[in-house]
Amino acid sequence: MTRDLTIAEIRLTPVLVADAPLLNVQGVHQPYTPRLIVEIVTADGITGLGETYGDTQYLEPARRLAEQLTGRSVMDVNGMFALDLGVDAARLEAGVDAGGLRGRQSADKVRLSVLSAFEVACLDAQGKALGLPVHALLGGKVRDAVEYSAYLFYKWAAHPAGVAAEPDDWGAALDPAGVVAQARQLKERYGFTSFKLKGGVFPPDEEIAAVRALAEAFPGHPLRLDPNGAWSVATSLKVAEELADVLEYLEDPTLGTPAMAEVSAGTRVPLATNMCVTTFGEIQEAFTRDAVQVVLSDHHYWGGLRNTQHLAAICAAFGVGVSMHSNTHLGISLAAMTQVAATVPNLHHACDSHYPWQSEDVLSERPVFTGGRVAVSDAPGLGVALDRDALARLHRRWAEDDGALRERDDAAAMRAGEPGWRTPVLPRW
């Protein structure tokens, strides 16, 4: 049967998703975080799904892109990447995104973060039209399941009193015992066998103690520590030295390629990044200076699943490892991450995912972790389906918000619990 894959309609639905009080160097996660759900509907009624960041700066370019796409084909993904989304470079170039957690901000990164959701939605629609999984459109899977690591956070038991939030049953984790208890829960519930601790929250000695406690509780399990650039070069080297025997890698101990290169030269612990190499333009300096040994791709800001494959190929050429970074995300993005990760031959580290922290989703069935892995779906497209009621509920929350939660701001969320909190100047230690 010949299908009409002309784009007839695009629905953009911003949502606010419940999030736990997870601590990082900037502050604490908001009780609700913005995401954008993209639905691309073809003339003959196929709907492709995509998801990306939902802060206001992504919504305008997404609307502009949606307007231009109607009447084009879901097969014309390359053409889509050539469209002008009108991202205002002057407003962005000097800044950082999400307080710096996603590296240096740029108009191109915003553009790619928007395009990524549309690319995923086009691939989902193509797959549904052809009866093929997305991984087949990307060249085929080289594994049947993708491994994820448990993403451990220092955490309050609840959001501050008086802040509207959904309760969670994970409890607090504010010391080594709490971190180990959280790791046990994540292992019991999802079977993870490697662990990443989000650091940069407490003085380095406390975080070293937490990693040591994890190493004792889970002998032989790969461990990572990621303080999001909170440390000086000297502190980074000290931590690397103290944890050299247990770390799989140290992630963004310090800010920027020159400082990472200095740390890298002084330790045998591999360094990973989702902060100093976040665009193709940052690769050359970092790789030629041997500043990083593992790049954590994020298909949102790298510009989609095909760009993630390009990044992986470049990493392979330079002998640099590749894995995946994660921010708060829903099941559409987890499905997209799993589909592309299935196609990357040189993926040798478990990927990050915040998904276990998300109690809410817009899918009718949540993706499942078994033994720390997500099975690669062979169903057409991404293999996921929308729960329209859930989407409407999470959108209503966004629509009713007075604007306070529509931009992710972990420092502002922190001030609800610690009124004097200021975003720390990095390096903090």
Q: Does 325 bind ligand GLR (CB under 6 A)?
A: yes
Among residues 325, 329, 349, 354, the one annotated as catalytic is 325
- Residue 101 touches which of Mg ion, ligand GLR, none (Cβ within 5-8 Å per kind): ligand GLR
Q: Which of 251, 262, 409, 410 binds Mg ion (CB under 5 A)?
A: 251
Place of tokens 């920027």: 256
Q: What angle do CA 230, 412, 174 make, to 5 degrees?
A: 55
In the bound complex, what is the minimum distance in angstroms from residue 395's beta carbon to ligand GLR? 22
Task: Say whether 325 is catalytic.
Answer: yes
- Region binding ligand GLR by CB under 6 A among candidate stretches 156-164, 324-332, 341-349, 393-401: 324-332
Q: What angle do CA 66, 72, 76 make, to 5 degrees?
A: 100
Cβ proximity to ligand GLR: between 28 and 243 the closer is: 28
Q: Is 128 a catalytic residue?
A: no
CB under 5 A: which stretch of 45-53, 135-143, 170-178, 269-277 binds Mg ion? 269-277
Q: Is 226 in the site for ligand GLR (CB under 6 A)?
A: yes
**Binds Mg ion by CB under 5 A, chosen from 226, 262, 361, 409:** 226
Catalytically annotated residue among 141, 198, 238, 299? 198
Q: Could you tell which of ligand GLR, Mg ion, none binds residue 198, using a CB distance below 5 to 8 A set by kind?
A: ligand GLR
CB of 257 to Mg ion, least distance (A): 15
> Which strand ranges, in their side-by-side order, compose the sheet holding 321-324?
150-153, 195-198, 223-226, 247-251, 271-273, 294-297, 321-324
Contact at 8 Å (CB) between 339 and 382?
yes
List the one residue from 52, 126, 149, 228 that touches ligand GLR (CB under 6 A). 228
In whole angstroms, the minimum distance from the beta carbon of 191 to Mg ion comes to: 23
What lies within 8 Å, CB to CB, of 249 at 6+ separation is: 224, 269, 270, 271, 272, 293, 294, 349
Structure tokens at 407: 């931009």
Binder of residue 323, out of Mg ion, ligand GLR, none (CB less than 5 to 8 A by kind): none
**Is it true that the peptide bond before 427 is cis, omega within 30 degrees of 0?**
yes
Enumerate residues 152-211 that contact ligand GLR by CB under 6 A: 198
User: Beta strands 145-147 and 7-18: pairing type?
Assistant: unpaired
CA distance 321 to 349: 8
Q: For Mg ion, which is the closer residue by CB, 226 or 262?
A: 226
Residues 32-46 as b or e (16 or more Cβ within 10 Å = b): bbbbbbbbbbbeeeb
**Cα–Cα distance between 245 and 403 in angstroms, integer?**
46
Distance (Å, whole) CA 105 – CA 278:
10
Q: Which residues bind ligand GLR (CB under 6 A)?
A: 22, 24, 101, 198, 226, 228, 252, 274, 325, 327-328
Residues with catalytic function: 198, 325
- Which residues here bind Mg ion, judged by CB under 5 A? 226, 251, 274
